[in-house]
A and B are shown apart, each in its own frame.
Chain A
């Protein structure tokens, strides 16, 4: 199977920067996604990396290293509304659009 590991919980301060790490199994790699999920709501897409390097999108950036099976999501200038779960997901190897999710990292932003 494909194991995706990310920390269960993180806490950070408003205005700070936080990095959420994710490791995955490299066999059958087919892209790495990050989703945000607020409590009681649907996951929403944040980023997609298929090549090595950093993808920047406003306050959020995502990094991928395929050789290391490693990704991170970087959140800058944290706001209270960034308190949510952040889900790392790997694209399924059969190219069906299937997503294999980690258990998610619950981020709490404190004043």
Chain B
């Protein structure tokens, strides 16, 4: 079965600083990988996705993520964080499993932005 680990529960960065949120996955084949963002009390918004091809993918709001097969990682990055980026971020892996289709989510990383 696939799994996702987000090792950082909370991260605090200053506005304008760079950001990297870590995500490690476990899956036997090439996974489909996603990053979602959730503002307080809201649903999840898809930031970016990786299916195949170029391992550096661009998303909305200036975010990017890099798929590294050798490290089983899909870390999310942003060169300059804005106060509005404060939210919870979820990494997810999609894979066929036991005849069914499933997205497995990490437990999330809460991002706080200091002004």
- Do these two chains really belong together in a complex? no
Mark B residues whose CB is within 8 Å of A. none
